[in-house]
Structure 1
Amino acid sequence: MYGDKKVPIWFVKSTHDVQRFFRWLIVVKADSPAGFSELTHEAFRDLAFVEGAVDGMKNMAGDYRSLVEKIVADLGFLSDYGREIFAGPWQEAPSRFGAGGVNISDENGNTKKNSVAKSRRKITYKGKERYFWWHIKLQPHQNRIHILPDDVPKDPIAVGIFCKHLI
């Protein structure tokens, strides 16, 4: 208690505790994608966010407040375990992420062959055109976060697209 108010107190013993604190800050205090973006580096130390990617949250179905807790939970799991998971056999990734409550998959062959779908997943990242095929499904039918795990374990997983759904 501080005066008549209850205030949360965080005890930090490790780097992971610091990340958890910043994740909590995003959920409780950040009121927009811009506020979210300001805290990503501290909250998700093992992810690299493509510049401007977080702005895509504005195009997701639902308002920011209704989505942010799930986004933080899924990105937190991706940051904490994604490099380890993608360093192993990728066909096991969906089930390993599923154990942490994250619904993730690679695009299917038909999507990868579709030129329009391919162009929507293409981003110039680190000076090269790259395809963000893997995606977290926040809901079964909508709201996606597209990622690039191709450079694991050398580099962090890149987070490139937040969207309602890409064709």
Structure 2
Amino acid sequence: MLFVLDESGLDLGDTDISLLEDSFRKLSMLLNLVVTSDFPAYCWSDIWSVKCNSSDELHQLVFNQAGIDPEVTRQLAVEIDRLSYWDDDFDIDPEFEFTCGTHRIEFAPSTGFCMRMIEQGRRGVMVTTQQGTLQGVKDLFSPRQSKHTEVLYISAKTDWVSCIREWLKSSDCPVSQVERYSEDVFDNLVFADGIWSQVRHFEGDNRTIRRQLINNLAGLNDHLLTIRSHHVTNDRIILEMKIRADVVCSPDSPKTHKNNRAMKQREVETAFGKVDCEWHAKLEPHRNRIHFGLNRGKVFIGIFSGHLET
């Protein structure tokens, strides 16, 4: 996978100073996520000359615009300077002009580079501003090549999170890479020390397990705390998690709670003290469980197992 800064998204128009500052701040935050990941990130070597409105090029807005917080513009400059120039690293003469439905994109060489990478089998992602016309997955048409290509545009941290999650689900990367991104893409979960070595306890096809694991962790991360804050009964939490998160989860049964040895297996030591992981999410009906606990307003992911004693 690779990320590419979108010139067309920098066409911000004659916008208000406060909105311009907000756009620069959010783009800086997104670029920071991109460049600190393990994936290559690129921009066009002439990025600073891109027209951002009727009178200003990017370098003029970043370095000479009165009224914008200088720390915001400084940080944007730092993040852009951390990108590599694709036209230095690749011998490619990309398209500059495209259409997306009825919308015409008159000048976007980095989009052309990204499309070429996608055609070569790479997973290319365009990084744009929240004011950019192109957001999400877009079907772009190149008049020069007379062909269509689907391109993903991201403009916020949530987009980046979704992008990384999809890559983790579909790639053959080692478990260490899942662990490396786990705190970033599952920021409402706390993982027990050493838990990623327990992935080997899951049974079945590795690709299927990886997809199920990421989907269930995403569902727990994105929905469980909100659902629990609105619903106090276990039955309602179970129902809402199934409907809203597509996660099949439940607390351990009264029978299990009476089994001291079984409950001991569910105890996990954390930086917050001992946590009883007495809830579990089912990757499959009869095997492969994520055992977790709810404590101090946090979701603790404590154990990955084929099936613990009940």
* TM superposition shift of 1:96: 0.5
Where 2:154 maps in the other structure, the secondary structure is coil
* TM superposition shift of 1:103: 0.4
Equivalent of residue 251 in structure 2, options 78, 98, 106: 106
Equivalent of residue 115 in structure 1, options 248, 257, 260: 260
What residue number does 1:42 align with? 184
Gaps of 5+ in 2: 1-114, 126-151
- Alignment partner of 1:89 is 2:224: no
* TM superposition shift of 1:132: 0.2
Equivalent of residue 276 in structure 2, options 125, 131, 155: 131
Normalised by the length of structure 1, the TM-score is 0.89
- Alignment partner of 1:80 is 2:222: yes
Where 1:2 maps in the other structure, the secondary structure is helix
Q: Is the 1:19–1:45 Cα contact (8 Å) retained in structure 2? A: no
Q: Is the 1:147–1:161 Cα contact (8 Å) retained in structure 2? A: yes
| Greater relative CO, 1 or 2 (CA 8 Å, sep 6+) | 1
Q: Which has the larger radius of gyration?
A: 2
What letter is aligned with 1:71? L
CA shift digits 1:103-153 (9 cap, x unpaired) = 00000111011011011101112252221000000111000001112222x
What residue number does 1:2 align with? 116
CA shift digits 1:30-63 (9 cap, x unpaired) = 5332221111012111111111112211011114
Aligned equivalents of 2:246 and 2:122: distance in 1?
Answer: 29
Query: Closer, same or farther in 2 for the Cα pair 1:157/1:30, shift >3 Å?
Result: farther
Aligned equivalents of 2:190 and 2:272: distance in 1?
Answer: 15
Query: Closer, same or farther in 2 for the Cα pair 1:86/1:54, shift >3 Å?
Result: farther
Where 2:211 maps in the other structure, the secondary structure is helix
Equivalent of residue 170 in structure 2, options 19, 28, 44: 28
What residue number does 1:144 align with? 289
What letter is aligned with 1:157? V
Aligned equivalents of 2:221 and 2:164: distance in 1?
Answer: 13
Normalised by the length of structure 2, the TM-score is 0.50
Q: Is the 1:50–1:160 Cα contact (8 Å) retained in structure 2? A: yes
Q: Give the total of aligned pairs.
A: 164
CA shift digits 1:62-88 (9 cap, x unpaired) = 143221111111111111111101223
- Alignment partner of 1:161 is 2:303: yes
Percent of aligned pairs with the same residue? 22
Q: Is the 1:136–1:146 Cα contact (8 Å) retained in structure 2? A: yes
Where 1:61 maps in the other structure, the secondary structure is coil
Q: Is the 1:105–1:135 Cα contact (8 Å) retained in structure 2? A: yes
- Alignment partner of 1:14 is 2:156: yes
Q: CA-atom RMSD, angstroms?
A: 1.7
Where 2:262 maps in the other structure, the secondary structure is helix
Moved more, 110-119 or 121-130: 121-130
What residue number does 2:42 align with? none
Q: Is the 2:281–2:291 Cα contact (8 Å) retained in structure 1? A: yes
Where 1:85 maps in the other structure, the secondary structure is helix
Aligned equivalents of 1:73 and 1:135: distance in 2?
Answer: 14
